[in-house]
Amino acid sequence: MKRSPILGAYAVAYLLFLYGPILILPLFAFNDSRIVAFPLSGFTTQWFGEMWADANLRKALGNSLIIALSTATISTALGIFAARSSVRYRWPGKAVVMGMIMVPLVLPEMIVAMALLVVLLTIGVPLSIFTIILGHVLICMPFAVAILTSAFQSLDKSLEEAALDLGETQISTFQLIVLPLVMPGILSAFLITFTISIDEFIIANFLGKGDPILSVYIFGQFRFPAKVPSMLALGTLLVLFSICMLAIAEYFRRRGIAKTGGKDSGGFL
Amino acid sequence: MTSEKPTMIEMRDVHKYYGDYHALRGINGTIRAGEFFSLLGPSGCGKTTLLRTIAGFEDISGGMIMIDGKNMAGVPANVRPTNMVFQSYAIFPHLTVAQNVGFGLRRDPRPKAEKQREVDEALEMVGLKGYGNRAAHALSGGQRQRVALARALILKPKVLLLDEPLSALDKKMREQMQMELIKLQRQVGITFILVTHDQEEALVMSDRIAVMFEGGIAQLADPETLYRRPNSRQVADFIGTMNFMPAKIVAETGDLVEVDSQGFGHVTLQGSQCMGTPGSNGSSIGFRPETLTILFENQQAVDRESMATVEEVVYYGDMTYYDVRIDGMTSPVRISMRNVFGRPVLDIGNRARVAWSPGALVLFR
Ligand SMILES: Nc1ncnc2c1ncn2[C@@H]1O[C@H](COP(=O)(O)OP(=O)(O)O)[C@@H](O)[C@H]1O
Ligand SMILES: [Mg+2]
């Protein structure tokens, strides 16, 4: 069957529109000019050096790493409990509870951020990095639970029964059989929630006390034209970092599928 | 025929409910030590459920299961003297073949080398010598099953439970594994309980068979008794093929029952040939296709002889199935005949002499 050339052109235009701007990022990050405009004027790594020299930026990066690591750890751990119990056990109100966990996926983040802010202020919780983590866990949980649910679902129940049958206890069976087999899912949930948290802006902006946070800081720096090139350098690094994280997550997900001999039912990449 | 062996498993009025669903409805029966026992029945009759209650994966809702003289109430699966070969084989995909087989020895305090030797022996026993270092997820179906067997047998359980272990294999492989399983069972002497929906498989492999329908055991007997003396039409229908003809009981004197039946006329049957509650009506007689013989040329009937008309011929190479209508019968009956070189196969419409024997009839009432 012959496809219309219009479809091909549409696909190319779509991809260009989507990824073109991201390609511009490294282009100007290495461009030897403070003004972000064509034509390019030469190659430099000056902006990367300038970026690293910025003490506030280093502080923001540190804070963001703390937030992202905590968020990823907490939401993955909570996700394990939720996914396991939703896949393996029956309890009253399960559908409602699991639905509620997934709701932040479709709620505007703005609403989540405002609602959280109002509640936190009302009950008198001081804003801090901790409150940002709280908000991030909320929006990361749906992703963690979705990934982990599919990991636990692909686990054959008789594997656990076989381990019990061969003399192991419930706890050792979980350690020896369940954990290793869902580990790819756990890693992939961890990496994806980490990635979501590290560049999240709205909640970080609303629920922070003013400590520098990477996304908020970058946004602020864009007001000063002189700072833009070094922010582009930072952006380049972040893009690279995100690609690495997603690739690693996908690698583990696929390896998990290959190992358990299951069928690939789609993923993030 | 097996001599009387000591009891290994005793089931007394075992009930199991899944919510409102009554999956096991009063199971009674005894499984003897060292026998090859099968649970046979159509899909959904509760075979797996019964096996899982013996293994300890399901609690029973009523009754009692004793294994080797001990009541199993409240005894979890990991301390019961049973091991299971799962229908899906449940091979641990992240471990090697040897790690799978040796899994049950993890808590065994003996030195590593000794356990390793046992793993090697178990692998050799199931024909997987030298496969120890292979990744388990890369095995074929037949090999997985052997790993599952070795893994379960290495713990030397008192009872090995097998849930439809051969149903995923193709016909050739299945027949080969049937023979291997029989040999293996004789070699290790462990009580095997096999779940299957394949009556042929059960007949071939088992010392005794429990035929199950709808959560209950319909008949528990050795294969020959099940085949020759099924205790109900349902069992007779499920195991092999049986012809049924309406019949009327005319007289009962002591152990003898006199029956009037279509085509066969007046016959006298022994009490052992009569199934069902004495005294009830609605009788029929049943007989297997191979208990009738078509007589050729000057062959003589050993017992009785009737005339019949051939209505259908199905040629199978080594066998021919004839549907014949014996004079006086309102419907045809099936006869299976082994083909003999040089003897003609009859045609539809031919008249034939049919030899039969009252001793091969079973009365259901
Ligand atoms: N965990 C369960 N929950 C509810 N019903 C079940 C469960 N397991 C089995 N059943 C039901 O019990 C009946 C017997 O099942 P099973 O023992 O698996 O049959 P078989 O192995 O003979 O095919 C079936 O009707 C099945 O649907
Ligand atoms: Mg079953």
Label residue A238 by pLDDT band (50, 70, 90). Answer: confident
Residue A135: per-residue pLDDT: 94
Angle of helix B112-125 versus helix B141-153 axis, rounded to 10: 130
Residue predicted with more confidence, A269 or A221: A221
Q: A9 in a domain, yes or no?
A: no
Say how many Å lie between the first and final Cα of chain A, rounded.
Answer: 28
pLDDT in tens, B244-272: 999 988 888 888 999 998 889 899 999 88
Residue A223 has pLDDT above 90, yes or no: no
Q: A159 in a domain, yes or no?
A: yes
ipTM, two decimals: 0.84
> Is any ligand 1 atom within 6 A of the Cβ of residue B211?
no
Pairing verdict, β B208-213 and B216-221: antiparallel
What sign does the dihedral A102-A104-A108-A111 (CA atoms) show? positive
Sequence length of chain B is 365
Nearest chain A residue (CA) to B163: A158
Distance B213 CA to ligand 1 centre (A): 13
Q: A76 in a domain, yes or no?
A: yes
Contacting residues of A for B55, CB less than 8 Å apart: 165
What percent of chain A lies above the pLDDT cut of 70? 94
Q: Whose CA is nearest to atom 26 of ligand 1?
A: B44
For the segment A53-81, the average pLDDT, to the nearest whole number, is 93
Distance CA A110, CA A81 (A): 28
Residue A82 parent element (H or E): helix A55-88
Residue A265: per-residue pLDDT: 47
Close Cβ partners of A17 (under 8 Å, ≥ 6 residues apart): none
pLDDT in tens, B295-311: 988 888 889 999 999 99
**What's the pTM?**
0.83
Q: A152 in a domain, yes or no?
A: yes
Residues B106, A162: C-beta atoms closer than 8 Å: no
Residues A165, B92: C-beta atoms closer than 8 Å: no
Q: Which two tokens stand for residue B141?
A: 């179906």
Residue B297: per-residue pLDDT: 83
B142: closest CA of chain A, how far (Å): 16
CATH number for the domain harbouring residue A197? 1.10.3720.10
Q: A21 in a domain, yes or no?
A: no
Residue A235 has pLDDT above 50, yes or no: yes
Look up the domain containing A133 and give its range. Answer: 45-259
Residue predicted with more confidence, A269 or A22: A22
Q: A38 in a domain, yes or no?
A: no
Label residue A268 by pLDDT band (50, 70, 90). Answer: very low
Residue among B88, B94, B104 minimizing CB distance to A167: B104
Residue among A158, A165, A259 minimizing CB distance to B78: A165
For the segment B32-50, the average pLDDT, to the nearest whole number, is 96
Map residue A162 onto helix, strand or coil. Answer: helix
State the best of A90, A166, A169, A171 to mutate against chain B, taking most chain B CBs within 10 Å. A166
The whole-chain average pLDDT of chain B stands at 92
Residue A61 parent element (H or E): helix A55-88
Distances (CA, A) of A65 to A60, A74, A110, B158, B229: 9, 14, 22, 57, 78
What percent of chain B lies above the pLDDT cut of 90? 77
Single-letter code of the amino acid located at B85: V
Map residue A37 onto helix, strand or coil. Answer: coil
For the segment B348-359, the average pLDDT, to the nearest whole number, is 93
Residue A267: per-residue pLDDT: 47
Single-letter code of the amino acid located at A205: N
Nearest chain A residue (CA) to B56: A165
Phi-psi region of A53 (alpha: psi -120 to 50; beta: other; left: phi over 0): alpha
pLDDT in tens, A73-98: 999 999 999 999 999 888 899 999 99
- Taking alpha carbons only, the member of B283, B344, B359 closest to residue B310 is B344
Distance CA A126, CA A123 (A): 9
Residues carrying CATH 3.40.50.300, chain B? 7-228
Distance CA B134, CA B197 (A): 33
pLDDT in tens, B181-215: 999 999 999 999 999 999 999 999 999 999 999 99
Is domain B7-228 classified as CATH 3.40.50.300? yes
Q: Whose CA is nearest to atom 5 of ligand 1?
A: B18
Nearest chain A residue (CA) to B86: A158
Label residue A1 by pLDDT band (50, 70, 90). Answer: low
Residue A252: per-residue pLDDT: 76
Spell out which residues have Cβ within 5 A of ligand 2, the ion: B 48
> Is any ligand 1 atom within 6 A of the Cβ of residue B296?
no
Nearest chain A residue (CA) to B54: A165
Single-letter code of the amino acid located at B331: S
Nearest chain B residue (CA) to A177: B92
Most distant CA pair in chain A, distance: 72
Residues carrying CATH 2.40.50.140, chain B? 241-365
Report the residue among B14, B20, B27, B48 best suited for mutation to probe ligand 1: largest number of ligand atoms under 8 A from its CB.
B48
Residues A165, B83: C-beta atoms closer than 8 Å: yes
For the segment A143-164, the average pLDDT, to the nearest whole number, is 93
Q: What is the 3-state secondary structure (H, E, C) of B31-97?
A: EECCCEEEEECCCCCCHHHHHHHHHCCCCCCEEEEEECCEECCCCCHHHCCEEEECCCCCCCCCCEH
CB A12 within 8 A of CB A216: no
Residue B323: per-residue pLDDT: 95
A163: closest CA of chain B, how far (Å): 8
Residue B158 has pLDDT above 50, yes or no: yes
- Taking alpha carbons only, the member of A131, A268, A104, A265 closest to residue A187 is A268
Distance CA A179, CA B38 (A): 36
Label residue A269 by pLDDT band (50, 70, 90). Answer: very low
Angle of helix A55-88 versus helix A214-221 axis, rounded to 10: 140
Distance CA B129, CA A60 (A): 60
Q: Whose CA is nearest to atom 2 of ligand 1?
A: B18
Close Cβ partners of B162 (under 8 Å, ≥ 6 residues apart): B84, B85, B181, B192, B193, B194, B195
Say how many Å lie between the first and final Cα of chain B, rounded.
Answer: 28
Residues B78, A156: C-beta atoms closer than 8 Å: no
Label residue A51 by pLDDT band (50, 70, 90). Answer: confident
Q: Which two tokens stand for residue B57?
A: 């994966």
Query: What is the number of domains present in chain A?
Result: 1
> Is any ligand 1 atom within 6 A of the Cβ of residue B330?
no
Is any Cβ of chain A less than 8 angstroms from the Cβ of B254? no
Pick the ligand that lies closest to the CA of residue B87.
2
State the best of A90, A154, A159, A165 to mutate against chain B, taking most chain B CBs within 10 Å. A165
A250: closest CA of chain B, how far (Å): 19
> Is any ligand 1 atom within 6 A of the Cβ of residue B53?
no
Class of domain B241-365: mainly beta
Nearest ligand 1 atom to alpha carbon B47: 22
Q: Kindly provide the residue ranges of all beta strands, DSSP E only, lying in B122-178, ordered along the sequence.
A: 159-163
Radius of gyration of chain B (CA): 25
- Taking alpha carbons only, the member of B99, B157, B141 closest to residue B123 is B99
Q: A201 in a domain, yes or no?
A: yes
Q: Among A19-23, A124-128, B147-151, which is the least confidently predicted range?
A: A19-23
Map residue B174 onto helix, strand or coil. Answer: helix
Label residue A159 by pLDDT band (50, 70, 90). Answer: very high
Angle of helix A55-88 versus helix A129-153 axis, rounded to 10: 40
Nearest ligand 1 atom to alpha carbon B52: 17
CB B154 within 8 A of CB B118: yes
For the segment B99-115, the average pLDDT, to the nearest whole number, is 93
A192: closest CA of chain B, how far (Å): 24
Pairing verdict, β B274-275 and B293-295: unpaired
Close Cβ partners of A133 (under 8 Å, ≥ 6 residues apart): A67, A70, A71, A74
For the segment A34-39, the average pLDDT, to the nearest whole number, is 77
Peptide bond into A39 cis (omega under 30): yes
What percent of chain B lies above the pLDDT cut of 70? 98
Distance CA A201, CA A84 (A): 31
Q: A39 in a domain, yes or no?
A: no
